[in-house]
A and B are shown apart, each in its own frame.
Chain A
Amino acid sequence: MRAQTMKVLVEFAWTLSEKVGRKYVWLDVKAEELNLQELFSRILPSILGEDLGKALNELFLNKEVFVVVNGVIAKDLAVKVKDGDKVFLQPIASGG
């Protein structure tokens, strides 16, 4: 039986889009779901390059970046991402 492929949209905003060199990337992952830990440590480095992937991972661990999954700020790296989900990344900002 073939593993299911999931499609996830990852958006990069503001300075992250400059660092990454694009505003978004569509991921095709052979899995039914994955968590943010896998997204940052494995999937993104494989697409954006090892260094950039690691840098994003560190930004998240240092709470320097918002990671928003389907409109909800992710609590931790265990948050699940499924087919059709949208992950939005932006440097921390505030105000209102």
Chain B
Amino acid sequence: MVQHKLYAYAGRILWIDLTSKSYSTTDTPSDLVKNYIGARGFGTKILWDQLRPGTDPLGPDNKIVFSVGPLAATGIQSASRFFVTFKSPLTGGYFRSVGGGQFGAEMKLAGYDAIVIGGRAEKPTYLWIHDDVVEFKDASHVWGAMTTHASEHLIEETDCNAKLVVIGPAGERLVNYASIQTNDNRSAARGGGGAVMGSKNLKAVVIKGSKKPEVFDREELNRLIKEQLDVYMKNPAFEGFRQLGTNGIIYLFYTLGHFPTYNFRQAELENVDVFRPENLLPYVVKRGGCYACAMGCWQFFRAVKGPFAGIIWDKPEYETQCTLGSLIGITQREAIMYANMLCDLYGLDTISTGVTIAFAYELYEKGILTRREVDGLDLRWGDPEPVIELIRKIALREGVGNVLAEGVKRAAEIIGRGAERYAMHVKGLELAAYDPRAAKAHGLNLATSNIGASHMYGWSAPEIIGFPEKVDPLTAEGKGALCKRLQDEMALYEAAGICQFPMSSGMVPLDLLSKMLYAATGVEEFKKLEYLIALGERIVNLERAFNVREGFSRKDDVLPERFLREPYPRAPARGQVFELDKLLDEYYAARGWDLKTGVPTRNKLEELGLKDVANELERLGKHIT
């Protein structure tokens, strides 16, 4: 195939083998561009091509793919996210994690659309990538260091303007939900990417670049950037994001029936007023934002009282205020801030960490875990002191922390005695801070997501915030089609590298995205909206095929029993349960997947240009209809 000039793309993929300390580059294929755009799309396709089914997530054969979209570092707003794709040690399936800050743009400036890392280094290593030069550097001196400490060292010994991703002690010890952190306090936290890096003895990737991407039509792109900024400024959610980020919605979502409490057992929280936005605003002492993003939704909080007074750290996001707070019955804001900071320092996903600790609290309450089994800690709801201790134990795999470091699914299997009933996960990924009974398409997204219970796979704005159209969150009818649409849209925007916050608030309408993609890349196909929508669907189907190849099927598209049997306890969703079978049937029908197995049909795969994928599944003996 003739390789045409690629505008906006860096034009190269970097392949690194840590075992042999070697690397190579290849041109970014134009068919990869046309079929998958970039970022999440690239990660998905590369992982599908590179991994054999049954690959050990923590073995040298697993790959970890860092990728960015064509709009990164072009001036387009909120478009420089980096995506991390790998086989997850938590789920055993496909995973994509997303991070913000400056790292994604720097990857592009260094000249790479994707960096694919395989193998296992003999000893602790970090990669120092500066433009065309790739160095394998000894990381022994920062092995064991907290993320911030390691970052400072590595920036100091490379380039003060470099950007990096790094793991902490949790990743080194293969905690299944270890995060990947950046040197500007961002995380690609979910799914255990930090453990995959740790398994490869890879402490960090430090990067610095100097190549501005050349775009197809700079004048038009500049005009579109102005148009995008205009849309931002006029959007009512814009100021809310700037003021308080996701902390602006905690009390609201609680009112709407989300923000679960006590390990998802309850929906009430005494003292919930502490999370009202006007009560959180005084904590803000500093603001910031990702590369080229006018929204700037970062706020740094300063703890003002109690034992943690004086710490200043990136605020706990909505999810974290729930998982390290309400899920354990904790409303002491300073304690949540401190727990959040510890997770960032050790390199832990705050969602999985909090849900796992809430799981331990409930097991303790039920007598399934005794005080001796939790190392003498008294896990009483609402008490933050054991949380602080458990975070350390999990990160260092010490005592009961060694079991909890596996995540709730595996920990429940180890503990036994009926513990699985209290393990709140889907496919091994701990549940995000929503109640599936209070928004059915959102619950369906959690059940069917190819990465497990991630709210960021198909966030149901029409149900949750009534945007762009208001949809009754409690009805089951029509939710299969809605969930499919939202997941496909999300996949498309993420293939372009766009942040979900402006996207789900309507700040990047589809026609504007299409124009921006065309002006940046000159790819004719990107002008067609239906082409783009099908592209998002292609990505979701390829992710599903990856999981089918690993043995996933309808049996894995489930929610914890609690949501299927126990009625939601208060208004507005009082009495609701999640009608799983009915909703799954509708979803599979909308997707054109087999109703019995949840596997994409050959027709659907071929319609999406994935005939080779259908052939591969058949070759492996997977039943496709």
Contact = CB atoms under 8 A, between A and B. Distances in A.
A94 to B, nearest CB: 4
A77 B182 CA distance: 46
Contacts of A75: 466, 470
Contacts of A63: 236
A90 B80 CA distance: 31
A95 interface: yes
Interface in A1-29: 13-15, 17-18, 23
Interface stretch (B210-218, B238-246, B389-397, B611-619): B238-246
B255 A88 contact: yes
A52 B467 CA distance: 26
Interface in B304-336: 317-319
A68 B255 CA distance: 8
A94 B236 CA distance: 10
B533 interface: no
A71 B257 CA distance: 7
Given A71-B572, A75-B470, A96-B318, A91 B236 contact: yes
- By secondary structure, the B interface counts as helix
Given A14-B277, A64-B236, A71-B571, A95 B256 contact: no
B48 interface: no
Contacts of A66: 252, 465-466
Contact of A93 (B241, B276, B455, B470): B241
Contact of A95 (B236, B297, B466): B297
Nearest to A62: B236
B276 A91 contact: no
A18 B278 contact: yes
Nearest to A16: B278
Interface residues of B, number: 42
A14 B250 CA distance: 12
Nearest to A18: B278
B501 interface: yes
B501 A94 contact: yes
B464 interface: yes
B168 interface: no
Nearest to B318: A96
Contacts of A88: 252, 255
A62 B235 CA distance: 11
A82 B318 CA distance: 32
Interface in B546-582: 571-573
Nearest to A17: B278
A70 interface: yes
A91 B240 contact: yes
A62 B393 CA distance: 50
A65 to B, nearest CB: 8
Given A13-B278, A68-B256, A94 B572 contact: no
Contact of B470 (A15, A73, A96): A73
B246 A95 contact: yes
Contact of A14 (B248, B455, B470, B505): B248
Given A14-B278, A91-B236, A92-B237, 17 more contacts: A13-B278, A14-B248, A17-B278, A23-B276, A70-B572, A71-B257, A71-B571, A71-B573, A75-B466, A88-B255, A90-B251, A91-B240, A94-B240, A94-B249, A95-B241, A96-B318, A96-B432
29 contacts: A13-B251, A13-B252, A14-B244, A14-B277, A17-B278, A23-B278, A66-B465, A66-B466, A68-B252, A70-B571, A71-B573, A90-B251, A90-B277, A91-B248, A92-B240, A92-B465, A93-B237, A93-B248, A93-B252, A93-B277, A94-B240, A94-B241, A94-B461, A94-B465, A94-B501, A95-B317, A95-B501, A96-B246, A96-B464
A-B complex: 10 closest residue pairs judged by Cβ atoms:
A71-B572, A93-B240, A93-B248, A95-B246, A92-B236, A14-B277, A64-B236, A94-B505, A73-B466, A94-B237
